[in-house]
Chains A and B, each alone.
Chain A
Amino acid sequence: MIQLRNALDIFTLLMIVTTILLLIYTITVMLMQRSKNKVTATPKVVTKVGCMQNDYSAEREYSKGDYVGLEVGKCPKCGNSLFVEAIYTVSNVKGKEIAS
């Protein structure tokens, strides 16, 4: 009787442990999958403008129609032409999606 109880106990215990391990594994995989599927923030697009004389440069939000080499006004320091120097995204900053 004691032997039978022991045998059944070990078997039952094994089943319980296996079930718990399987449950833990399934939950872990589901959680990992969920964290992978997280939507990343849209990076912010900025336009860097600069003066021909290299005495002024500033970053501003990208506006439709900007391209590198575009004349965008006069330099606030020397009055020479101000051009778009670069357009790039800044990572890890949540911003608006560029207009299509």
Chain B
Amino acid sequence: MDGGTSSDTWYLLLLAMFMISFMLNFTDIPQRIQLWRFSSYVRRRLIQIDEVESDVRRRLISYLSKLNISTPKEVIDNFMNNYFLIEPVNIEPVDIIKRLSHLINVRDTNIKMYAEKYMPGLQKSERYNATVALEIASAINTVNKILKHYFKLGLKNNNWILLMQLALEMPNIIRIVNSYSKALDAFFSGVPIGDGAGPLLVRYLVGRAEPKYLAEDTVYYEVVVDGRKVYAVKAEGPGATVGKPGEAVEKLVEMLGGSVARIITVDAALKLEIEDTGEVAEGVGAAIGDIGPEKIGIERAATKYGIPLDAVVIKMSLEEAINVMTKDVYEGVLKALERVRRIISNICEGGSIIVIGVGNTVGVL
């Protein structure tokens, strides 16, 4: 009797294991469980992003109200979803840069017109800061919409792999969305951000020299460093703008008749996880994170006259690049300044050098 009970238990256990094995291997149940697991995870994270978006909107309304804008909600709503840019045809590459540049200029002009219409009476720097804040809110809104699109698509088609991919990417996306949200504070207050390392270096290089207009939102300074003539280019501060460094360098090189001993570009660069913030590296090429027109402008100007093109970069993470400048980045700027001075001192005395501080000049005059 006792022996019979024991074999019954083992028989039931084996049967249960067989049934479970059958269900796991020959039915959709595991996929359904995965779908449920990943969808509930993604749903929770999407709620988190919704909260960030609402918070950004609330802070933006409060900021615009403080700037005496009567209809802040309307200003935000009319800006969202608009001002996208359709990239030009690329199967015919002839004059693609010219076409892209034209489209970027048209978009920029439209945004400036919008800002002038809805935010009248503001100082230029305040208007530029508010425009970048609107762009940040719009970017977060777009990311949220795209994520929800893929989430709904995954649920609609029972595509657990799509939901799994979303779930795996979510922590990284949330990290980026949170850093964009935090970045608003820098633009509301008009303080330098990590990406402003290049313009800050130019500010230190030129001291109290007077700026001269070169291109839209872009100025240059003429100074003498160790007996060498330095033309330093940066976006016009202290409002949030990156200017047109490519166009400016092309103009400047032509203005000098191509007689330039060296072009040095200085910019913030994204660091690898194993690198330290504020590390400075030196290389060759145009250090500029641009989609095309500005970078090619610098490269073309250098190539036309055979001018050596140097790049000095200050390493930082994405969060550090778009948020208030950290002390590590500031110390990196000082190190980069020494590097630039050393490159300048290697040029023969009397030679002309162009130094371009690439990046957003918010909070830097």
The answer to whether B2 has its CB under 8 Å from any CB of chain A is: yes
- Least CB distance, A90 to chain B, in whole angstroms: 6
Determine whether the beta carbon of A100 is less than 8 Å from that of B364.
no
Determine whether the beta carbon of B9 is less than 8 Å from that of A7.
yes
B contact face: mostly helix, strand, loop, or mixed: helix
- Least CB distance, A26 to chain B, in whole angstroms: 15
The answer to whether B238 has its CB under 8 Å from any CB of chain A is: yes
Residues of chain B within 8 A of A100, CB atoms compared = 59, 62-63, 66, 184-185, 188-189
Among A4, A70, A88, contact of B365 (Cβ-Cβ < 8 Å): A70
A88 with B192, Cβ < 8 A, contacts A4-B5, A7-B6, A69-B365 known: yes
Determine whether the beta carbon of B365 is less than 8 Å from that of A67.
yes
Residues of chain A within 8 A of B208, CB atoms compared = 52
The answer to whether A18 has its CB under 8 Å from any CB of chain B is: no
The answer to whether A86 has its CB under 8 Å from any CB of chain B is: yes
Of chain A, the residue at the smallest CB distance from B207 is A52
- Least CB distance, B285 to chain A, in whole angstroms: 27
Docked complex Cα distance between A57 and B188 (Å) = 27
The answer to whether B190 has its CB under 8 Å from any CB of chain A is: yes
The answer to whether A64 has its CB under 8 Å from any CB of chain B is: yes
Determine whether the beta carbon of B2 is less than 8 Å from that of A67.
no
Of chain A, the residue at the smallest CB distance from B320 is A89
Determine whether the beta carbon of A98 is less than 8 Å from that of B238.
no
Determine whether the beta carbon of B363 is less than 8 Å from that of A67.
yes
- Least CB distance, B51 to chain A, in whole angstroms: 14
Determine whether the beta carbon of B237 is less than 8 Å from that of A69.
yes
Q: Which of B5, B10, B184, B191 has the most CB of A within 10 A?
A: B191
Residues of chain A within 8 A of B330, CB atoms compared = 86, 88
Docked complex Cα distance between A89 and B224 (Å) = 32
Contact with A along B176-216 (1 / 0, CB 8 A): 00000000111011111000000010010001100000000
The answer to whether B326 has its CB under 8 Å from any CB of chain A is: yes
The answer to whether B242 has its CB under 8 Å from any CB of chain A is: no
The answer to whether B93 has its CB under 8 Å from any CB of chain A is: no
Determine whether the beta carbon of A68 is less than 8 Å from that of B200.
yes
Of chain A, the residue at the smallest CB distance from B60 is A100
The answer to whether B137 has its CB under 8 Å from any CB of chain A is: no
The answer to whether B230 has its CB under 8 Å from any CB of chain A is: no
Among A65, A67, A88, contact of B237 (Cβ-Cβ < 8 Å): A67
Given contacts A7-B6, A89-B326, 18 further A-B contacts (CB under 8 A): A4-B5, A7-B9, A7-B10, A65-B190, A67-B191, A67-B364, A68-B200, A68-B237, A68-B238, A68-B363, A68-B365, A69-B238, A69-B364, A86-B192, A87-B192, A88-B326, A98-B189, A100-B184
Q: Could you list which residues of chain A lie within 8 angstroms of chain B, going by C-beta atoms?
A: 1, 3-4, 7-8, 11, 43, 45, 52, 62, 64-70, 86-91, 97-100
Q: Could you list which residues of chain B lie within 8 angstroms of chain A, going by C-beta atoms?
A: 2-3, 5-6, 9-10, 59, 62-63, 66, 184-186, 188-192, 200, 203, 207-208, 237-238, 323-330, 363-365
